[in-house]
Structure 1
Amino acid sequence: MAVERVTATDAALELINRLTKRHGPLMFHQSGGCCDGSAPMCYPEGDFKTGNSDMYMGDIGGAPFYMSKDQFEYWKHTQLIIDVVDGRGGMFSLEGPEGKRFLTRSRVFSEEERTELEQNSTV
């Protein structure tokens, strides 16, 4: 099984499924701070314009996940694990009205995983 840079918990996948049914295809962007801190932000697909400074990290629940190249430099040694918790998150993220917020957890890749990522990386 290939190493994934981003995954999601069952709870996050369940919420992504509910939001997809309500809003159609989704996308995520790991915000880099400012108003909403560093949080995974969920948008209807195409509502957040990605550019040359954004990197595609993989899909969670069928939704593409992006992060800025600058921020990736800080996170490149870790697997992002998108979870969901009770509370209010980013004001622009779709899960807010659900009384939930997406949250990024992480774990450091093993040496074997880092080697595999380096050999197979398009990032």
Structure 2
Amino acid sequence: MTLSLDRVTATPAALLMIAALRERHGPIMFFQSGGCCDGSAPMCYPAGEFAVSDSDVYLGKLNGAPFYMGLEQFAYWEHTQLIIDVVVGNGGMFSLDNGTGRRFLTRSRLFTDEEFAQLASQGSGAAS
């Protein structure tokens, strides 16, 4: 039996922050683009307040919150598992973590060749 492999995951600290933001703001979602400054960090929005395009890639859910990435950025990160963490600092200007004294941060690790082949067989990372 082969277990499903996640393209995006979160640390326990990030999961707690997601739960706190959901309690305060209701359903939330994430988007990570390839832009500079705030756009290079995972941004957290109220669900439905960020327009996801047909070319954006759905990577999975973090504690129930969908996580998307721009297609061009995904081309650079497709061999990498994203690990969303929380650190001390200010979040992006329009991100829900702004003003909390903590911000989301993307860490990563390269998939092994075996894991990447498994992702391909799962069809993981398709546009959504």
Q: Which residue of 2 aligns with 1:14?
A: 16
| CA deviation after TM superposition for structure 1 residue 37, in Å | 4.3
Residue segments in structure 1 that go unaligned for 5+ positions in a row: none
Could you list the runs of 4 or more consecutive aligned residues of structure 1 that deviate by over 6 angstroms after TM superposition? none
Q: d(CA) in 1 for partners of 2:112 and 2:37?
A: 33
Q: Which amino acid aligns with 2:120?
A: E
Q: Which residue of 2 aligns with 1:75?
A: 77
2:99 pairs with 97, 100, 103, which one?
97
RMSD: 1.0
Q: d(CA) in 2 for partners of 1:53 and 1:101?
A: 26
Identity of matched residues, %? 61
Does the CA contact (< 8 Å) of 2:59 and 2:68 recur in 1? yes
Does the CA contact (< 8 Å) of 2:41 and 2:92 recur in 1? yes
Q: Which residue of 2 aligns with 1:109?
A: 111
Once the two structures are superposed, residues 2-55 of structure 1 have per-residue CA deviations (whole angstroms, 9 ceiling, x without a partner) of: 110000000000000000000000000003223414110000001100011211
Q: d(CA) in 2 for partners of 1:2 and 1:10?
A: 20
Residue-pair matches, total: 123
SS of the equivalent of 1:98 reads: coil
TM-score of the superposed pair, with normalisation by structure 1: 0.96
Q: d(CA) in 2 for partners of 1:20 and 1:9?
A: 16
Q: Counterparts in 2 of 1:60-71, with a 5 A limit?
A: 60-71=62-73
Q: Which residue of 2 aligns with 1:54?
A: 56
Once the two structures are superposed, residues 35-79 of structure 1 have per-residue CA deviations (whole angstroms, 9 ceiling, x without a partner) of: 414110000001100011211110001100000111000000000
Q: d(CA) in 2 for partners of 1:107 and 1:71?
A: 16
| CA deviation after TM superposition for structure 1 residue 117, in Å | 0.5
Q: d(CA) in 1 for partners of 2:39 and 2:48?
A: 22
1:26 pairs with 22, 25, 28, which one?
28
